[in-house]
Every structure is written in structure tokens, then in C-alpha cells.
Amino acid sequence: MNEELRSIRVSIFGRDYNIKGGADEEYIRNLAGYVDSVMKDIADKAGSLSSGRIAILAALNIADEMHKERRRFDELADELIQKLQSALNIDLRSEDILTTDPESANAQDADQQSADSE
């Protein structure tokens, strides 16, 4: 983690901030722009709230979006796992599959083939 921290100046809701980080400058500017747009949308809809309250509402809205997307991702991942299990007729979450080394797996396959031929 030897990324060089650099300071990037961004404007959010009419105030300038120096953000230090190792992420790409364009990425940080995009994040700041998104926060700025969410805060402006809230200010337009909510009327006269303090910038602190607007910031809290923006943080809650963004956290809500993140949690919904995370839940959607988890559901899609579970759906994909189920489809793969069905297609391959195996349990991808089985500890045997996740922890078995290749040599041990080959030996098990050979044992199974021997048993099948008997």
C-alpha cells in the first residue's frame, strides 16, 4: 500500500474541500460531483434546511442506494451460484470443493472411477 497520497481540490454544495487520497483524481472528482448533485437535489426539494442537515440526508440517501445495490448484487450472485450448481450438478459452496487440493481431488476421482468400474 505504497500509493502516494495527493490532495485534490473539489467543490461540494458551494464549498471547496481538499481531499487527500491515493485514488485517481477523476474518480475523486466524480464522487464529489455525485455528492454535490445529491445535496442540490435535496436542497431543491426540502426548502430551507441547513447545509449540515442536507449533508446528513444526502449521506443517508447514498447509504440507502449502496445497501440496495449490495442486496441486489448478493441476490444476483446467489442466483448465479444456483444456476451453476444446477448446470454442473455440484454444490459450489461445499467446503470440500473450496478446500481440496488438486492432488487430493485427483486421488478421489480415481477412487470413484475404480468403484464405478466394479
Structural domain boundaries in the chain: 6-117
- pLDDT tens per residue, the chain (118 residues)? 456 889 999 999 999 999 998 999 999 999 999 999 999 999 999 989 999 999 999 999 999 999 999 999 999 999 999 998 888 876 656 555 555 555 655 555 555 555 555 5
Residue 54 contacts by C-beta under 8 Å, 6 or more apart in sequence?
A: 13, 39, 42, 43, 46
Write down how long the chain is: 118
- Indicate yes or no: pTM above 0.75: no
- Cell numbers linked to 30: 466524480
**Mutual orientation of helices 25-46 and 51-88 as an angle, nearest 10°?**
120
Measured distance CA(18)–CA(6) in Å, rounded: 9
H-helix segments, 89-101: 95-99
